[in-house]
Amino acid sequence: MALPKEYERYSWGEYRSWPEEERWELIDGVAWDMSPAPSRNHQQILVDIVSQFHMAFKDSGCEVFAAPFDVKLTEEDEDDAPTVVQPDVVLCCDEDKLTEWGMQGAPDLIVEIVSPASGRKDRKQKFALYERYGVREYWIVDPDEQVVEIYRHNGERFERMGAYGPEDRPGVSALPGFELDLSETFRTKG
């Protein structure tokens, strides 16, 4: 798991001044380093999910983004200790939330592709954050197990919709009728 930068709290303004080549997230103002770079398998899964989403959502009014893409979950009055994440995949169906630097507010869908280093953070800390800020849908993709866990927000908390493997085609609540072909997503392992 990434260690916080000196356990200090940083403001939104400080975060925005950091070098673009460094990848950080802020959780309640505490910085978390995003390195090292993800594995090849992680990136192949990321590209496949983004490609399928892009083709399905391109005429829907929704936009899909791949990391690095800043999602500021906190409001402006919390800029002294903001929460800014860079999920692997973000789906936003509300153009008013999109900004020149990324997005402000809860996305319609967040996908995190876990690694041995990020799995606990994605399943515990980020799960709690995304639930707290009202992310509509959260997918946790485990490349090693070839499983996608899907959670949907019911207005109060996440409800587990199920776990899906390579033979499945789960849907996305923001686009009824669309199904992600997981046989494509998990076509390679390792």
CB 92 within 8 A of CB 65: yes
pLDDT of residue 20: 80
Q: Write down all domains in the chain, each with its CATH number in brackets.
A: 37-185 (3.90.1570.10)
Q: Tokens 């005429």 correspond to what residue?
A: 59
Give the separation between CA 166 and CA 71, rounded to whole angstroms: 29
- Report the b/e string of 179-190 with b at 16+ CB within 10 A: ebebeebbeeee
Return per-residue pLDDT of the chain as tens, 190 residues: 444 555 688 899 889 888 887 788 888 888 887 767 788 899 999 999 999 999 998 889 999 999 999 999 999 888 888 999 999 999 999 999 999 999 999 999 999 999 888 888 899 999 999 999 999 999 999 999 999 999 999 999 999 999 999 999 999 999 888 999 999 999 865 4
Give the separation between CA 153 and CA 160, rounded to whole angstroms: 9
Does the bond joining 36 to the residue before it have cis omega, within 30 degrees of 0? Answer: yes
pLDDT of residue 6: 59
pLDDT of residue 189: 53
pLDDT of residue 3: 47
pLDDT of residue 91: 97
